[in-house]
Chain A
Amino acid sequence: MRGGMRNPMPEQPADVRNKNFEEVTLGYSPETAVDEAQRCLHCKVPQCVKGCPVNIDIPDFVHAVAEKDFAGAFTILKKKTSLPAVCGRVCPQENQCEKHCILGIKGEPVAIGRLERFVADTARANGQDRSEHVDITPKGIKVAVVGGGPSCLTAAGDLAKMGYDVTLFEALHKAGGVLMYGIPEFRLPKTIVQHEIEGLKDLGVKIMTDVIIGRTFTLHELLGEEGFKAIYVGTGAGLPHFLRIPGENLDGVYSANEFLTRVNLMGAWDFPHRATPVCHGKDVAVVGAGNVAMDSARTAKRLGAEHVYVVYRRSEAEMPARKEEIQHAKEEGVELHMLNNPQEIISNDKGWVTGIKCIRTKLGEPDASGRRSPVEIPGSEHVFNVDMVVIAIGQGPNPLLRHTTPDLVTNKKGLITIDDHEETSIPGVFAGGDIVTGAATVISAMGAGKAAAIEIDKYLSSK
């Protein structure tokens, strides 16, 4: 038994990686992975599993790694997650599996995410992930999956394995959802996402990009003349929120979604080889403190910004971003300016951003979210001189589907309402992921896709 510290993750040096878009973390070597796995106590009542939204059999897969049975470990992972290479990289493990690991009480928890990534990367490198034969008995029943994010990819894969004839509809020109357009290359290489999508095609899933449900087809047309017997909706939370302060529509002000989509999905970092441009701010303010804000700040830095200021109205302790991302951002030279509330974005006479005026705050009583709420300090207004601003304060549900499907019941926030069986107000239409929960995590969206696949199977089997 070994307690103490976990094996560190090898990574590119901070002052090198903040100038390129290659992956920051390099992954464990087999030796390190085995060493790390051997720290696990293989608990009889494993606490870690409770923290994993899809209940991965953590002790067993880690044990297989400790035994150098990497192929076996992969088989165990695949029983519960279809995207281990993704989850191993982007899960907020410190709030999930690793938070509950028993070793975390006295020392550091087992690096479960890093091991998951190692196993998935190994299987991808040696082809195991695509060679495993899956026996599928076709049922000849058509099921539609609306959206191309992690929740839909999971639902589509599971339904295909059950024998359904699955068609996935994605509005953009590439499936993957936030994994493609939001999370940057340096955290999640796009080849990995596309590799997983190719795997779905092997299972027989038809992927139709450039189709927007609500416009190209309505949900009712899919259920009617298009002949689908059930639908899974996982359209995500893609509607960017703005601050509603003066100056927000100036040139040089982006939503994080726009900034990241230009850079990730459209490859604007490679302009003019790729045709989509993006502003390269010299001094950039990023408003917000979640993963999205960290991704925006680190992306701006990589595009050559001298100063990137993260502006947040609470303190560092309240930042919702993953710890690792905050740490990485700091190492890369991103400057955190906590306890600042933006009031106005200022421009020159050509309509370009020249600064963002903020007022300092202090923390008061806890608010409805349980976090201490920011209280403005009168007279403390000051200006950050910047030539670009990225607003990363959250996303809501895109209203398109709701507007084009009046009988689809949503709540006050516009999120789709589902019952205990993941079913919406329209019989045969199921939903999950960010469109039901609001912006959450990759793994919770995948969990919802899995649960819905089971319910869809029950629903169709009972007919």
Chain B
Amino acid sequence: MAKILKKCHLSPAVTELTVEAPLIAHKCKPGQFVMVLADENSERIPLTIGDSDAKAGTITMVIQAVGNTTKHICHDFEVGDEIAHILGPLGQPSEMKKFGTVVMVCGGIGTAPVYPIAKAYHEMGNKVISILGGRTKELIMWKDKMAAISDELIITTDDGSEGIKGFVTDPLRKMMEEGNKPDYVVAIGPIVMMMNVAKTTKPFGVKTTASLSCIMVDGTGMCGGCRVMVGKETKFTCCDGPEFDAHLVDWDNLRKRSKMYVDQESVEYGCGGHCKCVEE
């Protein structure tokens, strides 16, 4: 049981939840996630630990309502309610070292998982350049939080309502073309975005890591449902990842697998599945 202590909407479809989870708060490191079972009839879903406070015994998650379970959590739970089960921290923590210049590329709510990693890199003395992207101005989250830990903050929107009009890959490419090759790039966001970041950095030979979001059941290495192809090897995202070398990931397979239940769920819930959230 994890009591909800704070809830706020970052945008109509994005909710920030802070819950009581002292054991996890005490242990988690940047890059790790939790498995959440909202109530006994829910699905177990993975959510990144966006922020944590070991003293207060809390963790913060940022949740985008894309389907049945995430909508249930965002809409039906209020401060004081309890989330039935939270397991964690799971996954390999991010590689922590002084790289030099790191570019943190965040698509949409990818900012939540990026934040603790970027913060740690900043504290270790890396030069942190953050690129936050979204379809439109309202979808850019945690701008101030990110600004506080970044040496440079770049914003892109598809419609030009804020920052540069275009995709996150545009300033990244420009930077590299101008000869400012970063030492390390981290990409977290929709699968297509991460795939495109990988494509952008590959010709420049810049080490790039992506945090993969795939469908998970247990999150403990027991089911193999989260398997992805990295290089020529099958890896389990929940225990070998979630971060992998973005240049080696089989993105096409990951995309297909993450849509495995779209038809079934869209018939039942009328979400359509074929909406922007999937194709993005």
Which A residues form the contact surface with B (CB < 8 A)? 171-173, 181, 209-212, 215-217, 238-240, 242, 244, 248-252, 254-255, 257-258, 261-262, 266-267, 271-277, 279, 350-351, 398-400
Q: Are B224 and A240 in contact (CB under 8 A)?
A: yes
Q: Are A272 and B269 in contact (CB under 8 A)?
A: yes
> Quick one: CB contact mask for B18-60 with A, threshold 8 Å, 1 for yes?
0000011001000000000100011110000000000000000
**In-complex Cβ contact of A172 among B27, B68, B220, B259 (8 A):** B220
A95 to B44, CA, bound (A): 38
**Is the C-beta of B223 less than 8 angstroms from some C-beta in chain A?**
yes
**In-complex Cβ contact of A254 among B37, B69, B225, B265 (8 A):** B225
B218, chain A: closest CB distance, angstroms = 6
Interface 9-residue window, one of B84-92, B95-103, B109-117, B175-183:
B84-92
Q: Are B84 and A272 in contact (CB under 8 A)?
A: no
A433, chain B: closest CB distance, angstroms = 15
Q: Are A210 and B41 in contact (CB under 8 A)?
A: no
Q: Are A275 and B68 in contact (CB under 8 A)?
A: yes
Q: Are A275 and B42 in contact (CB under 8 A)?
A: yes
Q: Are B217 and A399 in contact (CB under 8 A)?
A: no
Of B43, B86, B89, chain A has the most CB atoms within 10 Å of the CB of: B43
By beta carbon, the residue of chain B nearest A218 is: B27
**Is the C-beta of B276 less than 8 angstroms from some C-beta in chain A?**
no
List, in ascending order, chain B residues with CB within 8 A of A272's CB.
268-269
List, in ascending order, chain A residues with CB within 8 A of B221's CB.
238-239, 398-400
Q: Are A173 and B85 in contact (CB under 8 A)?
A: yes
Q: Are A210 and B223 CB-contacts (below 8 A) given A249-B229, A261-B218, A351-B256?
A: no
**Is the C-beta of B161 less than 8 angstroms from some C-beta in chain A?**
no
Q: Are A255 and B260 CB-contacts (below 8 A) given A266-B44, A351-B253?
A: no
Interchain Cβ contacts within 8 Å, total number: 115
> Quick one: CB contact mask for B59-93 with A, threshold 8 Å, 1 for yes?
00000000011001000000000001111111000
**Is the C-beta of B11 less than 8 angstroms from some C-beta in chain A?**
no
By beta carbon, the residue of chain B nearest A209 is: B85
Q: Are A257 and B90 in contact (CB under 8 A)?
A: no
By beta carbon, the residue of chain B nearest A262 is: B217
Q: Are B69 and A261 in contact (CB under 8 A)?
A: no
A242, chain B: closest CB distance, angstroms = 7
Q: Are B224 and A271 in contact (CB under 8 A)?
A: no
**Is the C-beta of B257 less than 8 angstroms from some C-beta in chain A?**
yes
Query: Can you report 25 A-B residue pairs in the complex whose CB atoms are below 8 A from each other?
Result: A173-B37, A173-B87, A210-B86, A210-B87, A212-B87, A212-B90, A238-B221, A240-B222, A242-B234, A248-B234, A249-B250, A249-B257, A252-B260, A254-B225, A255-B225, A257-B223, A271-B264, A274-B41, A275-B72, A276-B44, A277-B265, A350-B256, A351-B256, A399-B221, A400-B220
B115, chain A: closest CB distance, angstroms = 21
**In-complex Cβ contact of A171 among B68, B220, B228 (8 A):** B220
> Quick one: CB contact mask for B231-254 with A, threshold 8 Å, 1 for yes?
000100001000000000010110
**In-complex Cβ contact of A266 among B43, B229, B259 (8 A):** B43
In which size bucket is the chain B interface? 35 or more
A399 to B253, CA, bound (A): 25
Per the 8 Å Cβ criterion, residues 176-227 of B in contact with A are: 217-218, 220-225, 227
A448 to B116, CA, bound (A): 43
List, in ascending order, chain A residues with CB within 8 A of B90's CB.
212, 215
List, in ascending order, chain A residues with CB within 8 A of B250's CB.
249
Q: Are A239 and B222 CB-contacts (below 8 A) given A211-B23, A248-B234, A251-B257?
A: yes
List, in ascending order, chain B residues with CB within 8 A of A212's CB.
87-88, 90, 220
List, in ascending order, chain A residues with CB within 8 A of B87's CB.
171-173, 210-212, 216
Q: Are A261 and B223 in contact (CB under 8 A)?
A: yes
Q: Are A251 and B256 in contact (CB under 8 A)?
A: yes
Q: Are B222 and A261 in contact (CB under 8 A)?
A: yes
A10, chain B: closest CB distance, angstroms = 33
Q: Are A249 and B222 CB-contacts (below 8 A) given A216-B89, A275-B42, A276-B43?
A: no
List, in ascending order, chain A residues with CB within 8 A of B234's CB.
242, 244, 248-249
By beta carbon, the residue of chain B nearest A270 is: B41
**In-complex Cβ contact of A238 among B220, B257, B264 (8 A):** B220
List, in ascending order, chain B residues with CB within 8 A of A258's CB.
217, 223-225
Of A250, A257, A274, A279, chain B has the most CB atoms within 10 Å of the CB of: A257
A298 to B69, CA, bound (A): 29
Q: Are A215 and B88 in contact (CB under 8 A)?
A: yes
Of B218, B259, B268, B269, chain A has the most CB atoms within 10 Å of the CB of: B218
By beta carbon, the residue of chain B nearest A403 is: B239
Closest 6 CB pairs of A and B: A351-B256, A258-B223, A255-B224, A238-B222, A173-B85, A272-B268
**In-complex Cβ contact of A216 among B23, B217, B269 (8 A):** B23
